[in-house]
Chains A and B, each alone.
Chain A
Amino acid sequence: MELAWYATLGLVFAGYLVLGGYDYGVGLLLSGIRDDGQRRAALTAVGPFFLGNEVWLVASLGILFGAFPRLEGELLSGYYPAVVAALVGVLLVTVGVQLRGRPAEPAARARWDRVVVAGSALAALGWGALFGGLLQGLPLDASGHVAGIGHLATPFVAATAITLVTLVAVQGATFLLLRMPKGQAADRARLVRRLVPVALGAVALATLLGSLSADVRAAVHPGALVPLLLLVFALLAARLLAERRPGWAFVASSLALVAPVLLVGLGRYPAALVSTVDPAATLTVAEAAAAPATLRLLAWVAVPFVPVLIGFQAMSWWVFRGRIDGKAPVYW
């Protein structure tokens, strides 16, 4: 039961990274678009999905709280700075995207767009730092407390934070490739091809720093190589497919965002939180889970309703499928 919920948690958070990933990716790419109308067009491409993307984060947090209350408390307070950075980033993107269309003056809209860019960068950096922090473990003592926040200040964590920014940028680029009018396809594909090597470089740097760090070597077992390879191949595939098959390129870059979740989940299993100071204090998935009665209650609700939730999301994807044109509804 715990394993099923742990997998669900991973799945939902991966869903958030894939969907929220293109929100933030498009957000980052706004910085390169000079024209207000073009920025609005890019956000219109995200448009109908934006509100539905973010809920995956809230749902994963709900699952974390309901099914893994102990992990929730220790994870969020143990990685305080990373989580707060991500949270502030998410907040700025949410607010910026939804309010940027309200002022009538283009200058005010440009200010909100800068908020979106900053928020996207911060959100990706924060989640990337959290992944890095999870992979290197934290100074958890036997009572479940973490002393201080300095444990996050390592080169490896910095590298994973930057890596996630690049992955998210690739995701945003493939999304725009898929959604923007056909006429822009060549330019969009060129952007994807340029961004992928940057992302690969960041992955290589993070891998190198990780293999040099004793904490990371101790926390992660060799099974982590599989998701790492998946990440590299997915990025390469995104680059190769960008020209001809935008849909598949988007699938590939989405897989590149699923890979970090697999890396963190499989690479350390059965540990949910690895302690760097006391091996006995390492929190396993089974220990972190809520009591069986709670998990059963949640399962009774989740099994019939999750298909409904996904169904409504799928309805939204279907209704608003295809490339945007002059008739696309605008709100942002």
Chain B
Amino acid sequence: MDPLPLARLQFATTTSIHFLFVLVTLGLVTLLVYLQTTSFVTRKPVYERMVRFWGTIYLINYVLGIATGIVMEFQFGLNWSGLSRYTGNVFGAPIALETLLAFFLESTLLGMWIFGWHRLRRGVHLALLYGVAITAYLSAFFIMAANAWLQHPVGYEVRDGVAHLTDFTALLTNPTFTMALGHVTSAAVLTGGMVLAGISAWLMLRRSPDYELLRKSLWIGLVTVTIAGVPLMGFGFAQFGAVGEVQPTKFGDDAAKAQAVADFTARFGPGDYLPPAYANASLGFMILIGFTLAWAFVMLPLFYRDWIVRLKFPLVIVGLSLPLPFVAAILGWLTREGGRQPWAAYGLLKVDDAVSPISGGVMLASFLGFTALLLTLAVTNWVLIAKRAARGAADPALGRSLADVTAEDDDERRPEPALAR
């Protein structure tokens, strides 16, 4: 059995699952920063309840973000040792910087944030969340720089058969990097807003208690979706020109495509240098979803006299829209990654040469095993998020002490949690 398609499929599934959780992590942490800052400034209890409720959902989601992220990190070495060997000098640098500068701090600070509810001063506790958010964005920055380099290798030269780094700043001004970073982060913020709005809408339909919290969350969520949609589309459409120039086989016109194919054939021998058809189809569907979500602003006037709640059907629409940003994100990545096939690093290294010399059987076992494991974990995670959300805002897991948990039965719904300290 040929290991290459299996390795590619494994990369696609792992990355897709990873990204679904990353989107929510980035989006929710942004909104949590807003909520906790407001709570800090206004001292209104509703904001503290919101931080604890949405914070719990954020943390459940974060678990799979890390778990799949670790798999991603290992996967380069396990399945794509040719990529490390040939491009590691350049591609490895942003990955290493991400782990050291961003992820390391993010997790350390988050651990302190989770357990710091009763121990730390409010200002310190808020600062920790700012640290978590900044490092989360820094992660996105370095990972997108690494991905952009694979899309369009820059700042390197090939010596002794491997790529060498010559100019790191070129990686950060890469035309496939800047616009895509803006696109991805706005998508994350929009998804965070959609999660707030969607879950609040469902909870309101179920007549969950704490109406004040849910209505506020719904409002903040829908405003976020409306605002984030603008840069999302701007950065999205802006990519056509930039990417078309450096990746003619993805977005170029027919003449550019033919010329690129002729050029690749001359340098790498004959082969299929055109991307698969699904890459363009998924692009179309993604744009369609984007335009659908842009209608979120229609919901905002309905908050006048709470029509959005009284009419009920707007809540159903918001609730049903919850999966849309996730679907769009996967479609977008299919276009970005599928559209550059057959290249692992565009115009430099083909996927055939990047894959590890592993036997097909081992690769199949690894693919089936990891896919089954990650899918199970992902579904379990979503079920836990749904169950936690359905229990409502009255019993957040954050900010309890050992005495609280042992003194009371866990099932017992407790009233408003006491403020920390």
Stretch at the interface among A73-81, A159-167, A195-203: A73-81
The answer to whether B81 touches A77 (Cβ under 8 A) is yes
Known: A40-B405, A99-B380, A315-B112. A62 touches B100 (CB 8 A): yes
The answer to whether A70 touches B78 (Cβ under 8 A) is no
Stretch at the interface among A42-50, A127-135, A211-219, A222-230: A42-50
In the bound assembly, the distance between CA atoms of A291 and B89 in angstroms comes to 6
Asked if A32 is at the interface of the complex by the 8 Å CB criterion, the answer is no
- B63, B96, B109, B398 interface centre (most CB from chain A within 10 Å): B96
CB distance from A332 to the nearest CB of B (A): 9
Which one of A40, A59, A72, A148 contacts B84 once the chains associate, using CB atoms below 8 Å? A72
The answer to whether B410 touches A294 (Cβ under 8 A) is no
The answer to whether A329 touches B93 (Cβ under 8 A) is no
The answer to whether A291 touches B164 (Cβ under 8 A) is yes
Q: Which residues of A contact B69 (CB under 8 A)?
A: 58
Asked if A244 is at the interface of the complex by the 8 Å CB criterion, the answer is no
Interface of A is mostly: helix
The answer to whether B402 touches A44 (Cβ under 8 A) is yes
Which one of B66, B73, B74, B95 contacts A94 once the chains associate, using CB atoms below 8 Å? B66
Q: Which residues of A contact B116 (CB under 8 A)?
A: 48, 319, 329
Q: Which residues of A contact B165 (CB under 8 A)?
A: 291, 293-294, 297
Stretch at the interface among B32-40, B273-281, B341-349, B354-362: B354-362
Stretch at the interface among B117-125, B201-209, B324-332: B117-125
CB distance from A78 to the nearest CB of B (A): 9
Asked if A330 is at the interface of the complex by the 8 Å CB criterion, the answer is yes
Asked if A146 is at the interface of the complex by the 8 Å CB criterion, the answer is yes
In the bound assembly, the distance between CA atoms of A320 and B120 in angstroms comes to 10
In the bound assembly, the distance between CA atoms of A149 and B103 in angstroms comes to 32
Asked if A41 is at the interface of the complex by the 8 Å CB criterion, the answer is yes
Q: Which residues of A contact B119 (CB under 8 A)?
A: 319-320, 329
The interface size of chain A toward B, counting residues with CB under 8 Å, comes to 79
The answer to whether B384 touches A99 (Cβ under 8 A) is yes
Asked if A55 is at the interface of the complex by the 8 Å CB criterion, the answer is yes
In the bound assembly, the distance between CA atoms of A243 and B124 in angstroms comes to 37
Chain B interface size band reads 35 or more
CB distance from A85 to the nearest CB of B (A): 11
The answer to whether A144 touches B85 (Cβ under 8 A) is yes
Chain B, range 47-98, C-beta contacts under 8 Å to A: 59-60, 62-64, 66-67, 69-71, 73-74, 76-85, 87-93, 95-98
Asked if A7 is at the interface of the complex by the 8 Å CB criterion, the answer is no
CB distance from A126 to the nearest CB of B (A): 11
Asked if A281 is at the interface of the complex by the 8 Å CB criterion, the answer is no
Q: Which residues of A contact B387 (CB under 8 A)?
A: 102-103
CB distance from B1 to the nearest CB of A (A): 15
Nearest B residue to A78 via CB reads B81
In the bound assembly, the distance between CA atoms of A302 and B104 in angstroms comes to 12
Known: A102-B60, A102-B397, A302-B100. A51 touches B402 (CB 8 A): no
Q: Which residues of A contact B83 (CB under 8 A)?
A: 73
Q: Which residues of A contact B359 (CB under 8 A)?
A: 148
In the bound assembly, the distance between CA atoms of A303 and B398 in angstroms comes to 36
Nearest B residue to A94 via CB reads B67
The answer to whether B357 touches A77 (Cβ under 8 A) is yes
Asked if B403 is at the interface of the complex by the 8 Å CB criterion, the answer is yes
The answer to whether A51 touches B74 (Cβ under 8 A) is no
Tally of A-B Cβ pairs under 8 angstroms:
254
In the bound assembly, the distance between CA atoms of A102 and B396 in angstroms comes to 10
Chain A, range 95-113, C-beta contacts under 8 Å to B: 95, 98-99, 101-106
The answer to whether B111 touches A49 (Cβ under 8 A) is yes
The answer to whether B98 touches A88 (Cβ under 8 A) is no
CB distance from A326 to the nearest CB of B (A): 4
CB distance from A319 to the nearest CB of B (A): 6
Known: A94-B63, A324-B402. A104 touches B104 (CB 8 A): no
The answer to whether A294 touches B93 (Cβ under 8 A) is yes
The answer to whether B97 touches A87 (Cβ under 8 A) is no
CB distance from A274 to the nearest CB of B (A): 18
Asked if A2 is at the interface of the complex by the 8 Å CB criterion, the answer is no
| 0 or 1 for each of A23-38: is its CB under 8 Å from B? (1 = yes) | 0000000000000010
Which one of B87, B92, B388, B402 contacts A330 once the chains associate, using CB atoms below 8 Å? B402
- B66, B69, B82, B108 interface centre (most CB from chain A within 10 Å): B108
Which one of A63, A84, A91 contacts B78 once the chains associate, using CB atoms below 8 Å? A84
Q: Which residues of B contact A58 (CB under 8 A)?
A: 69-70, 73, 99, 103-104
Q: Which residues of B contact A54 (CB under 8 A)?
A: 66, 70, 107
The answer to whether A327 touches B74 (Cβ under 8 A) is no
Nearest B residue to A149 via CB reads B362
Asked if B266 is at the interface of the complex by the 8 Å CB criterion, the answer is no
Chain B, range 236-277, C-beta contacts under 8 Å to A: none
Asked if B9 is at the interface of the complex by the 8 Å CB criterion, the answer is no
Which one of A73, A87, A291, A309 contacts B70 once the chains associate, using CB atoms below 8 Å? A87
The answer to whether A293 touches B166 (Cβ under 8 A) is yes
Nearest A residue to B73 via CB reads A61
Which one of B107, B366, B410 contacts A84 once the chains associate, using CB atoms below 8 Å? B366
CB distance from B181 to the nearest CB of A (A): 19
The answer to whether A77 touches B99 (Cβ under 8 A) is no
Known: A62-B98, A293-B166. A76 touches B77 (CB 8 A): yes
Asked if B168 is at the interface of the complex by the 8 Å CB criterion, the answer is yes
Nearest B residue to A75 via CB reads B77
Nearest B residue to A64 via CB reads B77
**Sample of 7 A–B contacts (CB below 8 Å):** A44-B402, A88-B373, A95-B67, A98-B62, A144-B85, A298-B97, A328-B402
Known contacts A98-B62, A148-B359; 9 further A-B pairs (Cβ under 8 A): A41-B402, A52-B107, A62-B73, A76-B77, A302-B100, A305-B101, A313-B108, A320-B119, A329-B118
7 A-B pairs closest in CB distance: A69-B88, A66-B96, A62-B99, A73-B81, A76-B77, A326-B403, A73-B84
B-side interface residues toward A, CB under 8 Å?
A: 59-60, 62-64, 66-67, 69-71, 73-74, 76-85, 87-93, 95-101, 103-105, 107-112, 114-120, 164-166, 168, 356-359, 362, 366, 369-370, 373, 377, 380-381, 384, 387-388, 391, 397-406, 410-411
